[in-house]
Amino acid sequence: MAFIAGVERFVLMTFIAGVGRGVLMVLIAGVGRGKGEACQRWRAPTGTLVRGVRLDRFFVSIPGITMVGCARQCFVRTSCRSFNYNLDSNTCELNSISLNDTSGTASEHYVYSDITGWPREVMPGNCSRVTCPEQHMCVARANGLQSCHRTECVEPPEVPHASIESSLRCVGCTVAYGCIEGYRTADSATSANIECLHNGQWTTSTYQCQEYYLGCYIDSGTRDLNGASVNLAANTPQLCTNYCFDQGFAYAGVQYGSQCFCGNEYGTHGPSPESTCNMACPGDPDVKCGSSWKSNIYATGVLQT
């Protein structure tokens, strides 16, 4: 049985079963309460704590805090649904989703907890009676009042063909864009980093990704790209890529000048020397649009699930 000192009125006694499931009990002590108020014992549903599990997409990380403090930090933030707690470093990670929404990953030194299993009395002051707007947290003041303060940003603005690996959304946090497979950072792009500001918005970025050419590939009657297709009188790789993107396909191939093929897999019949994709594009004679049974293939930027 692990004993963690309480924050203000609370003492946490946690029993973590060896199988990985735990039972959480919080003893709400009479410290700071009026005379005659009895201590209350609260028992969380089985499974409130899950040892050795962590959700990777946390939006805030808070070091040097107790588990009760971590639950409190989750409660006062309207975006928080669960938390991860590192038993070695006493680090708290707040999640906007729970194990009901996604699967966790194995992590030996972590304990996961859904916040719904905790009593709202964990919250400081009168915060248990206040609902703050999204991306805000309740702050209890010494005079018994409370206020809502913004602590997180909205989702970062989308950049075509780019993704953000970090799930951090806290004010002052910095995240970075990265181009998805088939794309690279454009030569004219500025910094990939953006910062979450106190107004809940992100700093402006002109980061851009440009299409990535995948190569010249052989086609046949059994189409290499076997999704949608269209003949484009002014065909170019960009025009064909845009068409396939709109159709929801991950790859686009220009062939025999005006032909455009789409699909989610490519390379069935193997690559072909670049010299064999030698027909000029009708919409841009300086660019090649495949040849007879040969396709120049590009990634469109559609993410496959």
| Residue-level pLDDT at 181 | 63
Mean pLDDT value across the chain: 81
Grade residue 166 by pLDDT with cuts at 50, 70 and 90: confident
**Can you give the C-alpha Rg of the chain in angstroms?**
27
CATH 3.50.4.10 given to domain 2-131: yes
Alpha helix positions (H), the chain: 67-75, 237-246
Residues 6 or more apart whose Cβ sits within 8 Å of residue 140: 123, 124, 125, 126, 127, 146
Residue 34 has pLDDT above 60, yes or no: no
DSSP 237: H
Would you say the CATH fold of 212-299 matches that of 2-131? yes
Alpha helix positions (H), 224-291: 237-246
Alpha helix positions (H), 109-257: 237-246
**CATH of span 212-299:** 3.50.4
**Which helix H or strand E contains 105, and what residues bound it?**
strand 105-114
Positive or negative: CA dihedral 225, 228, 229, 233 = negative
Residue 275 has pLDDT above 50, yes or no: yes
Cα torsion for 148, 89, 50, 127, to the nearest 10°? -20
Distance between CA atoms of 54 and 261, rounded to whole angstroms?
Answer: 42
- For residues 169 and 183, the model is more confident at 169
Distance between CA atoms of 302 and 305, rounded to whole angstroms?
Answer: 10
> In this structure, are residues 287 and 253 in contact, taking their beta carbons and an 8 Å threshold?
no
Task: From residue 46, give the alpha-carbon distance in Å to each of 16, 27, 216, 284.
Answer: 11, 17, 58, 65
pTM of the model: 0.55
What's the pLDDT tens digit per position in 106-120?
999 999 999 888 887
User: Which of 137, 166, 167 minimizes the C-alpha distance to 151?
Assistant: 137
Bridge partners, 255 (sequence order): 259, 295
**Which helix H or strand E contains 93, and what residues bound it?**
strand 91-95
Residue 155 has pLDDT above 80, yes or no: yes
Least confident residue range of 5-9, 74-78, 272-276: 5-9
- For residues 231 and 160, the model is more confident at 231
Residue 148 has pLDDT above 80, yes or no: yes
What mean pLDDT is predicted for residues 242-270?
95
Distance between CA atoms of 277 and 298, rounded to whole angstroms?
Answer: 13
Q: Which residue has the tokens 């040849």?
A: 291
Residues 6 or more apart whose Cβ sits within 8 Å of residue 128: 75, 120, 121
- What are the extents of the domains in the chain? 2-131, 212-299
